[in-house]
Amino acid sequence: MRKWASFPLKEGDVSRQAHADFPEQAIYERETGRSGFFGPATHFHHQHAPTGWSDWQGPLRPRLFNFNDVGANQTASPWSVPNLLSNAHVKMRTWRIDQAMTKLVRNADGDDLLFIHQGSADLYCDYGHLTVRDGDYVVIPRSTMWRLEPKEPMFILLIEATNDSFQLPEKGLVGNHAIFDPAMLDTPKINAEFKAQYSEKTWQVDVKRHGQVSTITYPYNPLDAIGWHGDLTVMRINWRDIRPLMSHRYHLPPSAHTTFVAQRFVVCTFVPRPIESDPGALKVPFYHNNDDYDEVLFYHAGDFFSRDNIEKGMVSFHPAGFTHGPHPKAFAAGQQYKKKFTDEVAVMLDTRDGLEMSDAALATENPEYVNSWKVAE
């Protein structure tokens, strides 16, 4: 057994409350902490922005990718697209599809989380039929057989929990029905649409295991269930059904927006909400160190209030090892309280283990992103 040393101290001129009522001579706060936002932490007050670097050499730097430029060609299988960011516990890919899949697929390596960035489709799986649309998260348990019939061209973000599963976060003091009520989780139905696809014709299933694909052929459609009972199934939630935690007097950390949890990473969702209104409260994300997690943000929709020149389908990647936070224009706008409401929608992936960048991801990188924190002279 072990525990963190705990001895709250203060030194110099400080605020009593984190993220609010800073000392007059220091407008910049930096949080350094362990275990994300759950371990011991210290809040520094600085005279200069913690991101005010003038130069950066070496591979550890904030990065910006444009995943709109990945895999522009449509493909019939999610197993034929490259990993973009990955480690032993998680794989992130993007997938474009505009035609009905002619094979079923099955992931024997772990659960899949599909985030529908664009488009809509009918999903058929072991558990039945489910319609999906833009903004949907779809959790597909490991080794589930499934396929899509798009109604319009689709752009999908795929996150694999390698050798793991997606679960819901503990919601603690706010209770089980906060953020989204589990009653909002939709599940597949054995309905008329599902029964209509029963078939005695030959079907194949592409099974992925250890990154390799095997094909199993059946003389019938194996999606032939007439019923099921239990508590394991495909489930869907749309970001529009998420009701975020809010505080008008305190800027909540990203962990307050957790949607799904695996053993070595979390997936969070940022959705529109009012901006903090208390005069002394910080109104943009606080500067903080990446000490234990790599942080990835996939930008889905809206105006991304803490970043400049970000478009839908772009991805920022801030590896562990340095301080990051809002861009200068966003920080200044927060001080002036110019915006009263955020309209951004973004998917965040935070990983306890370092992520590797594939050549496919690096081919879309904007190398000038590291300089975007510089203040124009």
Tokens 């800027």 appear where?
251
Residue 288 has a pLDDT of: 85
Q: How confident is the model at residue 51 (pLDDT cuts 50, 70, 90)?
A: confident
Q: Within a domain: residue 13?
A: no
Binding site feature residues: 288, 294, 324
Residue 374 has a pLDDT of: 82
Comparing CA positions, the residue from 371, 367, 376, 374 lying closest to residue 65 is 367
Binding site feature residues for Fe cation: 288, 294, 324
- Do both 252 and 233 map to the same domain? no
CA-CA distance, 122 to 152, in Å (whole number)?
A: 10
Binding site feature residues for homogentisate: 324
Q: Which residues pair with 21 in a beta bridge?
A: none
Domain's final residue, options 211, 239, 267: 239
- Do both 158 and 302 map to the same domain? no
State the maximum Cα–Cα separation within the chain, in Å, rounded to a whole number. Answer: 77
Task: Flag the least confident range among 91-100, 148-157, 307-316, 348-357.
Answer: 307-316
Measured over the CA atoms of residue 279, residue 285, residue 291 and residue 292, the dihedral's sign is: positive
Residue 147 has a pLDDT of: 98
Q: Which residue range is the domain that position 195 belongs to? A: 72-239
Q: Within a domain: residue 26?
A: no
- Do both 231 and 135 map to the same domain? yes
Q: Within a domain: residue 59?
A: no
Cβ pair 197, 223 in contact under 8 A: yes
Q: How many domains are there within the chain?
A: 2
Element at 295 (helix H, strand E): strand 294-301
Higher pLDDT residue, 82 or 327? 82
pLDDT digits (tens, 9 = 90+) for 309-322: 789 999 999 999 89
- Do both 248 and 233 map to the same domain? no
C-beta neighbour count of 174 within 10 angstroms: 10
Both tokens of 52, joined, read 């005010």
* Statement: residue 76 has pLDDT above 60: yes
- Do both 275 and 321 map to the same domain? yes
- Across the range 40-57, mean pLDDT stands at 86
Angle formed at CA 317 by CA 331 and CA 86, multiple of 5 degrees: 160
- Do both 296 and 154 map to the same domain? no
17: left (phi over 0), alpha (psi -120 to 50) or beta: beta
- Do both 214 and 99 map to the same domain? yes
Residue 306 has a pLDDT of: 56
Give the chain's mean pLDDT.
91
Percent of the chain beyond pLDDT 90?
A: 66
Domain's final residue, options 206, 239, 272: 239
Residue 377 has a pLDDT of: 45
Residue 73 has a pLDDT of: 63
- Do both 268 and 224 map to the same domain? no
- Do both 226 and 332 map to the same domain? no
Both tokens of 143, joined, read 């080794």
The CATH number of the domain holding residue 276 is 2.60.120.10
Q: Within a domain: residue 174?
A: yes
- Across the range 169-179, mean pLDDT stands at 91
Q: Within a domain: residue 15?
A: no
Residue 72 has a pLDDT of: 64
- Do both 140 and 152 map to the same domain? yes
Q: Within a domain: residue 128?
A: yes
Task: Flag the least confident range among 13-17, 200-204, 220-224, 348-352.
Answer: 13-17
Could you tell me the pTM of the whole model? 0.92
Higher pLDDT residue, 49 or 90? 90
Q: Within a domain: residue 325?
A: yes
- Across the range 336-365, mean pLDDT stands at 92
The catalytic residue positions are: 251
Q: How confident is the model at residue 19 (pLDDT cuts 50, 70, 90)?
A: confident
Q: Within a domain: residue 50?
A: no
- Do both 201 and 341 map to the same domain? no
Domain's final residue, options 239, 258, 291: 239
Tell me if residue 236 falls in helix, strand or coil. Answer: strand
- Across the range 183-206, mean pLDDT stands at 98
Q: How confident is the model at residue 75 (pLDDT cuts 50, 70, 90)?
A: confident
- Do both 212 and 314 map to the same domain? no
Percent of the chain beyond pLDDT 70?
A: 97
